[in-house]
């Protein structure tokens, strides 16, 4: 792209980006309020665009962004870093645009939030002017936790370059020759925030005037807020000043919000005669649904009110959408309160293969629910549906 | 350049670019003479002395006042590695497109990695210090060139955005700033990075100064954060002070990342008091000697080294011809990936990816060989060492013809 002499080592990986990708990444990153946040999102987007095709072509065709592409903006709003999931390992890329390759600084979130932690942390130097990304060193979670220096000022784990493995080839050779190697250190779980506390934090940190929300409250609270996909998403929306995006009632009357649509939600309108043919539990004419992949099979999660009243009973149902497909024995559909507590009749279990799993629940206006299945679907990230 | 012949010369002379000759350091010369007499080793054993000084250096790697032995060992080794450094620098400087950097500049940049060499070298791996040094010098030099090239084209504000925190702190320390000052500067710099980012997708090297509204916002953020980050009594900042601080940071960073050439080649032992081996406890000298002699007698290790080279050569020969060509151009002729791309009419990222892939094949072969022949269980940190051995071998295998006799 430029005529400068780029000098790389064969131990490093230089990945080029097309001009259009720079433009697209730039546009996608402009919604954030703070300049550094926009810039971080841009660097992360570029890293993902460069790295994902490379990993897929060279090493793992099934590699995908974690938890899902649609969730990334809510991560980047909070902290820099992009995770890619392989079959049995997670790579966390930490992009910077620094000139010198002297250290790797990994935000604490990627290290100490148990469900976020990766196996490998890879230093990515993004150079928009040269149109590429240089991967120049990496380490494991285990090494970062044991040898890394924790900088409490900006809550990062730092390793100087001589503590990193500066040959990216080693990563892939290690995965082939010593797959049993310990890559992760043990982590203590973070608390689950009571709903009231989560709401208080969201009000406080959702204020876009706070420059560095990640440093504004103790890490345990911040980490817990982020680990729950639903509150992380709300934080993102509040800092952007967006109105409620997850009201199922609103979706049914005015269409699914764009954000929820990106996550896979859609509106389904049924013909009256098909409704009749379904039998006793006739669904309403409109429902919202989300396609899921669970253990390699396609499913549909459908949510709809059972009557037209102001406070209807809501039905959550899960079906296998492959022709003649059933829900295998052992599968569960479960609903939880916003702060992930169980309640009476919140779960349906398939003792043996069944046509559907369903839960019916009455809710107060404004109440929120989190759904989950067991096993988890692909790209699962908790979300809070509002009723 | 005339290769040095005698053992004393090898461990006590330094390359003089202006005069194209070897300059002898009297203190190092006396030290080597003294050692040769005292230890009664034969003149020919260059490798013995390399290991000996390295072992001594390792005993106390952090140079501290009063540890004359360490500084002395480092000086001897720096003298010893002059030739490896010279050939590495020559290989790279011959291929540089611009004449911005003379051979002597490249040499200076490479030799500054001497501590990295000494720290990383592991004598039990069956490779000579010289081979290992070539690999490290070569990547350090390329890294340095790449970094300078970026620093050179960055405006003050771009440089500030693109320096790592580690280097910024080091730059300020080198510029003689107190810890208190550094704390304030680093906080100001962080606030600057929070609020000032490029406003377009490219041209990140030509950033203009922040406008006055942004400066004001940075000052406000600093004044808000200083209570938590420094201390509640830390003085307030103003727009003028902020600008002054940031410019100080940028200036320190630039002179740290892109220093005017200073001679790093001269030995560090400035005084000429005769503190050589007589200052070291006899027991240490004894144990060092025993260990080295034991190692020399390990014929087994030598045999393994030969097997390993054979295994690597076989793996190299089984690469496709393009892979072999790329390695030859890169390690043998020292071409940059961009030059290779031009020569072979390929895209640079294709060169980069194929080269990496070829090297990965060799690393895999070497790792498997180690697993099977040495019966070791592999782990990432061991593979890291194996990668360095591979780098040493590649530099050895594709060494310049001038060195082929010497490095056998």
Q: What pLDDT does residue A269 have?
A: 83
Q: Which chain A residues contact residue B195 at CB under 8 A?
A: 34-36, 211
Closest residue to A38, CB basis, from B193, B197, B367? B197
Q: A313-317, B19-23, B310-314, B325-329: which has the minimum mean pLDDT? A: B19-23
Rounded Cα distance between B274 and B282, Å, is 17
Q: What pLDDT does residue B122 have?
A: 79
Tokens standing for A142? 């285990």
Q: Is the pLDDT of residue B181 over 50?
A: yes
Chain A, 46 to 65: residues with Cβ < 8 Å from chain B are 54, 58
Q: Where are the alpha helices (DSSP H) in B297-336?
A: 299-317, 321-327
Q: Is the pLDDT of residue A3 over 50?
A: no
- State the residue for tokens 């490093």: A12
pLDDT tens column, B328-348: 999 888 888 888 999 999 988
Taking CA atoms, what residue in A is nearest to B258?
Answer: A100
Q: Which chain B residues contact residue A173 at CB under 8 A?
A: 360, 363-364, 367, 383
Banded pLDDT at B139 (limits 50, 70, 90):
confident
Q: Across residues B358-369, what is the average pLDDT?
A: 94
Q: Is the pLDDT of residue B82 over 70?
A: yes
Closest residue to B359, CB basis, from A10, A100, A174? A10
Banded pLDDT at A272 (limits 50, 70, 90):
low
Give which of B97, B322, B360 to mutate to test A binding, by max A Cβ within 10 Å. B360
More confident residue, A112 or B34: A112
Q: Where are the beta strands (DSSP E) in chain A?
A: 13-16, 64-66, 82-85, 90-96, 103-107, 120-127, 132-140, 149-151, 156-160, 265-269, 286-294, 297-305, 313-320, 332-337, 347-349, 356-362, 368-374, 384-386
Contact at CB, A128 and B336, closer than 8 angstroms: no
pLDDT tens column, A277-295: 444 445 457 899 999 999 9
Banded pLDDT at A51 (limits 50, 70, 90):
very high
More confident residue, A1 or B17: B17
Smallest CA–CA separation between A160 and chain B, in Å? 8
Rounded Cα distance between B230 and B233, Å, is 8
Q: Which chain B residues contact residue A129 at CB under 8 A?
A: 202-205
Taking CA atoms, what residue in B is nearest to A140?
Answer: B380
Contact at CB, A177 and B368, closer than 8 angstroms: yes
Q: What pLDDT does residue B408 have?
A: 37
Nearest 5°: CA angle at B264, between B262 and B270?
110
Taking CA atoms, what residue in B is nearest to A29?
Answer: B201
Cα–Cα separations (whole angstroms), residue B225 to A220, A239, B47, B234:
21, 20, 57, 10
Rounded Cα distance between B364 and B319, Å, is 12
Q: Across residues B77-100, what is the average pLDDT?
A: 86
DSSP, res B235: P
Rounded Cα distance between A72 and A77, Å, is 9
Q: What pLDDT does residue B21 have?
A: 84
Closest residue to B229, CB basis, from A8, A153, A160? A153
Contact at CB, A6 and B146, closer than 8 angstroms: yes
Strands A90-96 and A120-127: parallel
Taking CA atoms, what residue in B is nearest to A9?
Answer: B139
Q: A149-153, A354-358, B393-397: which has the minimum mean pLDDT? A: B393-397
HEC profile for B366-388? HHHHHHHHHCCCCCHHHHHHHHH
Chain A, 208 to 267: residues with Cβ < 8 Å from chain B are 211-212
Q: Across residues B266-283, what is the average pLDDT?
A: 48
pLDDT tens column, B303-314: 777 888 899 999
Rounded Cα distance between A241 and A32, Å, is 10
Rounded Cα distance between B240 and A66, Å, is 45
Report how far Cα A111 is from the mean position of its chain's Cα atoms: 15
pLDDT tens column, A242-267: 999 999 999 999 999 999 999 999 99
Q: Is the pLDDT of residue A188 over 90?
A: yes
Q: Which chain A residues contact residue B377 at CB under 8 A?
A: 178
Q: What pLDDT does residue B205 have?
A: 85
Taking CA atoms, what residue in B is nearest to A149?
Answer: B166
Smallest CA–CA separation between B8 and chain A, in Å? 33
Q: Is the pLDDT of residue B56 over 90?
A: no
Rounded Cα distance between B232 and B14, Å, is 54
Q: Across residues A116-143, what is the average pLDDT?
A: 95
Contact present, B79 and B10 (Cβ < 8 Å): yes
Q: A193-202, B207-216, B301-310: which has the minimum mean pLDDT? A: B301-310
Q: Is the pLDDT of residue B40 over 80?
A: no
DSSP, res B278: G
Smallest CA–CA separation between A162 and chain B, in Å? 9
Q: Which chain A residues contact residue B150 at CB under 8 A?
A: 99
Rounded Cα distance between A252 and A307, Å, is 13
Q: What pLDDT does residue A4 have?
A: 45
Q: Which chain B residues contact residue A58 at CB under 8 A?
A: 353, 357
Average predicted confidence (pLDDT) for chain A? 91
Nearest to B27 by CA among B271, B263, B280, B265: B271
Q: Across residues B113-125, what is the average pLDDT?
A: 84
* Half-sphere CA count of A318, side-chain side, radius 13 A: 30
Is residue A105 within 8 angstroms of chain B, CB to CB?
yes
Contact present, B70 and B57 (Cβ < 8 Å): yes
Give which of A100, A138, A144, A171 to mutate to test B binding, by max B Cβ within 10 Å. A100
**Which residues, in sequence order, are bridge partners of residue A92?**
A83, A121
Contact at CB, B356 and A169, closer than 8 angstroms: yes
Smallest CA–CA separation between A34 and chain B, in Å? 7
Q: Which chain B residues contact residue A10 at CB under 8 A?
A: 330, 352, 355-356, 358-359
Q: Which chain A residues contact residue B199 at CB under 8 A?
A: 35
More confident residue, B245 or A282: B245
Cα–Cα separations (whole angstroms), residue A216 to A128, A157, A204, A209, B392:
31, 18, 9, 12, 48
The number of helix segments (H) and strand segments (E) in chain A equals 13, 18
Q: Is the pLDDT of residue B102 over 60?
A: yes
More confident residue, A350 or B303: A350
Taking CA atoms, what residue in A is nearest to B187?
Answer: A153
More confident residue, B228 or A347: A347
Q: Across residues A61-89, what is the average pLDDT?
A: 95
Q: What percent of chain B is modeled with pLDDT above 70? A: 83
Q: Is the pLDDT of residue B231 over 50?
A: yes
Q: Is the pLDDT of residue A316 over 70?
A: yes
Rounded Cα distance between A299 and A318, Å, is 7
Banded pLDDT at B403 (limits 50, 70, 90):
low
Closest residue to B204, CB basis, from A4, A128, A181? A128
Cα–Cα separations (whole angstroms), residue A32 to A96, A236, B51, B150, B356:
18, 9, 57, 28, 37
Closest residue to B383, CB basis, from A103, A132, A173? A173
Cα–Cα separations (whole angstroms), residue A285 to A16, A276, A281, B250:
50, 11, 12, 65
Where does residue A105 fall: left (phi above 0), alpha (psi -120 to 50 degrees), or beta otherwise?
A: beta
Q: What pLDDT does residue B269 have?
A: 47
Tokens standing for B204? 């990140």
Q: Is the pLDDT of residue B297 over 70?
A: no
Average predicted confidence (pLDDT) for chain B? 83
Q: B47-51, B105-109, B257-261: which has the minimum mean pLDDT? A: B257-261
Q: Which chain B residues contact residue A42 at CB under 8 A?
A: 201
Q: What pLDDT does residue B318 have?
A: 94
Closest residue to A98, CB basis, from B139, B162, B190? B162
Closest residue to A9, CB basis, from B142, B161, B257? B142
pLDDT tens column, B371-390: 888 777 888 888 988 898 89
Q: Which chain A residues contact residue B121 at CB under 8 A?
A: none
Q: Across residues B383-403, what is the average pLDDT?
A: 81
Q: What pLDDT does residue B252 have?
A: 95
pLDDT tens column, A324-342: 999 999 999 999 999 999 9
Nearest to B259 by CA among B160, B371, B357, B171: B171
Q: A202-206, B225-229, B398-402: which has the minimum mean pLDDT? A: B398-402
Cα–Cα separations (whole angstroms), residue B15 to A197, B116, B136, B266:
69, 20, 19, 9
Q: Where are the beta strands (DSSP E) in A102-236?
A: 103-107, 120-127, 132-140, 149-151, 156-160
Q: Is the pLDDT of residue B274 over 80?
A: no
Environment class of B291 (CB within 10 Å of its CB; exposed 0-12, middle 13-18, buried 19+): middle
Instruction: Tally A–B CB contacts below 8 A.
Output: 175
Q: Across residues A185-210, what is the average pLDDT?
A: 95
Rounded Cα distance between B401 and B333, Å, is 11
More confident residue, B229 or A63: A63
Q: What pLDDT does residue B79 have?
A: 94
Rounded Cα distance between A141 and A127, Å, is 26
Q: What pLDDT does residue B308 have?
A: 84
Rounded Cα distance between B112 and B106, Å, is 10
Smallest CA–CA separation between A384 and chain B, in Å? 31
Q: Is the pLDDT of residue B282 over 60?
A: no
pLDDT tens column, A170-183: 999 999 999 999 99
Q: What is the pTM of this model?
A: 0.88
More confident residue, B402 or B171: B171
Q: Which chain B residues contact residue A132 at CB under 8 A?
A: 349
Banded pLDDT at B278 (limits 50, 70, 90):
very low
Give which of B356, B366, B381, B391 to mutate to test A binding, by max A Cβ within 10 Å. B356
The number of helix segments (H) and strand segments (E) in chain B equals 19, 2
More confident residue, B60 or A167: A167
Banded pLDDT at B402 (limits 50, 70, 90):
low
Contact present, B61 and B119 (Cβ < 8 Å): yes
Banded pLDDT at B72 (limits 50, 70, 90):
confident
Contact at CB, B165 and A103, closer than 8 angstroms: yes
Q: Which chain B residues contact residue A169 at CB under 8 A?
A: 356, 359-360, 363, 387
CA dihedral B255, B261, B266, B271 (to 10 degrees): -50
Contact at CB, A177 and B367, closer than 8 angstroms: yes
Q: What percent of chain A is modeled with pLDDT above 70? A: 95
Q: What percent of chain B is modeled with pLDDT above 90? A: 35
CB atoms near residue A373 (< 10 Å): 19
């Amino acid at each position: 792209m430029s005529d400068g002499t780029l000098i790389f080592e064969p131990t490093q990986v230089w990945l080029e980006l097309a001009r259009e990708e720079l433009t697209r990444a730039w546009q996608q990153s402009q919604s954030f309020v703070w300049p550094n946040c926009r810039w971080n999102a841009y660097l992360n987007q570029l890293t993902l665009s460069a790295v994902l095709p490379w990993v897929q072509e060279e090493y793992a065709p099934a590699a995908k962004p974690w938890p899902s592409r649609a969730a990334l903006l809510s991560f980047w709003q909070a902290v820099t870093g992009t995770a890619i999931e392989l079959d049995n390992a997670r790579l966390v890329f930490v992009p910077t645009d620094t000139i010198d390759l002297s250290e790797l600084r990994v935000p604490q979130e990627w290290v100490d939030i148990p469900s976020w932690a990766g196996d490998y942390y890879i230093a990515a130097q993004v150079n928009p002017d040269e149109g590429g990304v240089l991967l120049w060193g990496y380490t494991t979670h285990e090494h970062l936790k044991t040898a890394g220096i924790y900088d409490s000022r900006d809550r990062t784990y730092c390793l100087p370059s001589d503590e990193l493995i500066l040959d990216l080839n080693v990563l892939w050779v290690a995965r082939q020759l010593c797959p049993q190697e310990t890559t992760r250190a043990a982590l203590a779980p973070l608390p689950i925030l009571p709903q009231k506390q989560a709401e208080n934090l969201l009000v406080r940190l959702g204020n876009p005037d706070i420059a560095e929300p990640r440093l504004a409250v103790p890490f345990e609270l911040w980490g817990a807020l982020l680990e729950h996909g639903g509150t992380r998403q709300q934080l993102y929306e509040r800092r952007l000043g967006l109105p409620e995006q997850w009201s199922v009632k609103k979706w049914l009357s005015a269409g699914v919000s764009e954000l929820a649509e990106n996550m896979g939600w859609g509106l389904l309108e049924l013909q009256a005669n098909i409704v009749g043919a379904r039998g006793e539990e006739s669904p309403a004419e409109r429902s919202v649904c989300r396609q899921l992949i669970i253990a390699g099979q396609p499913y549909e999660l459908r949510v709809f009110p059972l009557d037209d009243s102001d406070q209807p009973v809501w039905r959550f149902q899960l079906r296998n959408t492959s022709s003649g497909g059933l829900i295998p024995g052992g599968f569960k559909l479960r609903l939880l309160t916003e702060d992930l507590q169980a309640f009476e009749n919140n779960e349906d279990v398939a003792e043996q293969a069944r046509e559907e799993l369903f839960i019916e629940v009455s809710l107060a206006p404004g109440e929120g629910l989190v759904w989950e299945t067991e096993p988890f679907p692909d790209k699962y990230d908790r979300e809070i549906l509002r009723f | 350049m005339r290769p040095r012949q005698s053992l004393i010369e090898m461990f006590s002379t330094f390359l003089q670019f202006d005069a194209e000759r070897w300059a002898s350091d009297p203190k190092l010369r006396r030290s080597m003479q003294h050692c040769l007499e005292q230890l009664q080793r034969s003149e020919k054993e260059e490798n013995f002395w390399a290991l000996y000084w390295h072992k001594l250096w390792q005993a106390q790697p952090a140079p501290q006042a009063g540890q004359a032995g360490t500084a002395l060992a480092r000086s001897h080794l720096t003298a010893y590695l002059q030739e490896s450094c010279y050939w590495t620098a020559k290989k790279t400087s011959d291929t540089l497109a611009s004449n911005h950097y003379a051979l002597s500049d490249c040499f200076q940049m490479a030799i500054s990695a001497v501590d990295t060499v000494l720290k990383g070298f592991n004598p039990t791996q069956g490779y000579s210090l010289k081979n290992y040094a070539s690999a490290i010098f070569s990547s350090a030099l390329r890294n340095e060139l790449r970094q300078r090239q970026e620093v050179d084209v960055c405006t003050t504000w771009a440089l500030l955005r693109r320096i790592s925190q580690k280097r910024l702190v080091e730059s300020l320390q080198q510029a003689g700033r107190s810890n208190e000052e550094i704390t304030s500067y680093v906080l100001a710099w962080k606030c600057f990075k929070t609020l000032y980012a490029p406003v377009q997708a490219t041209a990140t090297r030509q950033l203009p100064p922040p406008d006055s509204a942004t400066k004001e916002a940075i000052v406000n953020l600093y004044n808000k954060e200083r209570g938590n980050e420094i201390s509640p009594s830390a003085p307030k900042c103003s727009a003028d002070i902020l600008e002054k601080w940031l410019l100080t940071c940028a200036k320190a960073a630039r002179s740290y990342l892109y220093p005017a050439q200073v001679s790093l080649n001269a030995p560090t032992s400035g005084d000429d008091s005769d503190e050589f081996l007589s200052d070291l406890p006899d027991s240490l000298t004894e144990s060092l000697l025993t260990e080295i002699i034991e190692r020399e007698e390990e014929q087994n290790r030598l045999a393994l080294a030969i097997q390993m080279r054979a295994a690597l050569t076989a793996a190299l020969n089984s690469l496709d011809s393009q892979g072999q060509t790329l390695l030859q151009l890169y390690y043998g002729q020292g071409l940059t990936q961009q030059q290779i791309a031009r020569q072979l009419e390929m895209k640079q990222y294709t060169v980069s990816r194929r080269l990496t892939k070829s090297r990965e094949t060799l690393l895999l072969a070497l790792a498997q060989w180690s697993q099977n022949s040495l019966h070791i269980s592999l782990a990432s940190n061991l593979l890291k060492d194996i990668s360095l051995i591979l780098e040493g071998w590649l530099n050895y295998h594709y060494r310049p013809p001038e060195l082929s006799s010497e490095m056998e």
